[in-house]
A and B are shown apart, each in its own frame.
Chain A
Amino acid sequence: AQSVTQLGSHVSVSEGALVLLRCNYSSSVPPYLFWYVQYPNQGLQLLLKYTSAATLVKGINGFEAEFKKSETSFHLTKPSAHMSDAAEYFCAVIVAGGGADGLTFGKGTHLIIQP
């Protein structure tokens, strides 16, 4: 079975600073990895996904993530934080052929942007 660990339930950065949200996964087979964002009282919106093509994945709103198999990581970054980035971020994994289990999510990281 696969699992996801997100380090830090809360991350606080200043506006304009680098955003780094950490995600490590555990999977016995090659995974597909996703980052979703959730704004208050809303559903999830896909930021980006890794599906075994390029290891550096660019997403919406200036976010990107790099798949590192040796580190079993898929950290999310953004060079310069905006106030509008304040939200809950979820890393998720699903294994090839494992659609039956749905997405397995991390616990989420609440991103706080300081003015």
Chain B
Amino acid sequence: EAGVTQSPTHLIKTRGQQATLRCSPISGHTSVYWYQQALGLGLQFLLWYDEGEERNRGNFPPRFSGRQFPNYSSELNVNALELEDSALYLCASSLGSQTYNEQFFGPGTRLTVL
């Protein structure tokens, strides 16, 4: 069974540009979570999508947005990139939205903002 996949592996952008990151969950999983792992800040919850709807977001500005498609894959968009957006962005999927459902993580997309 294929795990969570993310693309691209690496992404280099300049300040002010937009970045789009993609995530494909494990087959059958309907929930997708996005996390940011920035140096010195640790892992922080960004967004949660379930059944195509944004269910909640962490403490991030509105320029971080995304969506979930009918096939449950998801896209994270970061507008007006700032240097501090440089981080590893991890996507996780789970079987439904129950709290105890294990979140399976993808390998991440490393975003570098120059």
Question: Footprint of B on A, CB under 8 Å?
Answer: 32, 34, 36, 41-46, 49, 51, 90, 92, 94-108
Q: A42-B107, A43-B90 are in contact. Are A101 and B4 (CB under 8 A)?
A: no
Contact A94 B99 (CB under 8 A): yes
Which of B43, B58, B106, B108 is the most central at the interface, judged by chain A CB atoms within 10 Å of its CB?
B43
Contact B99 A44 (CB under 8 A): no
Flag whether B72 is at the interface (Cβ < 8 A). Answer: no
What's the tally of chain B residues with a CB closer than 8 Å to chain A?
Answer: 26
Instruction: Give the distance to chain B from A99, nearest Cβ to Cβ, in Å.
Output: 5
Instruction: Give the distance to chain A from B29, nearest Cβ to Cβ, in Å.
Output: 13
Q: Mark B83-100, 1 if CB is under 8 A from A, else 0.
A: 000000010100001111
Contact A103 B45 (CB under 8 A): yes
Flag whether B15 is at the interface (Cβ < 8 A). Answer: no
Contact B4 A43 (CB under 8 A): yes
Smallest CB-CB separation from B101: which chain A residue? A99
Smallest CB-CB separation from A4: which chain B residue? B42
Flag whether B65 is at the interface (Cβ < 8 A). Answer: no
Contacts of A96 in B (CB 8 A): 99-100
Contacts of B102 in A (CB 8 A): 34, 46, 49
Question: Footprint of A on B, CB under 8 Å?
Answer: 4, 31, 33, 35, 42-46, 48, 55-56, 58, 90, 92, 97-100, 102-108
Smallest CB-CB separation from A50: which chain B residue? B100
Contact B105 A102 (CB under 8 A): no
Smallest CB-CB separation from A44: which chain B residue? B105
Contacts of B48 in A (CB 8 A): 99-100, 102
Smallest CB-CB separation from A104: which chain B residue? B45
Q: A43-B90, A100-B55, A102-B35 are in contact. Are A107 and B42 (CB under 8 A)?
A: yes
11 A-B residue pairs with Cβ-Cβ distance under 8 Å, sorted by A, are A32-B99, A43-B4, A43-B107, A43-B108, A51-B100, A96-B100, A99-B98, A99-B99, A101-B45, A102-B46, A105-B42
Instruction: Give the distance to chain B from A96, nearest Cβ to Cβ, in Å.
Output: 5
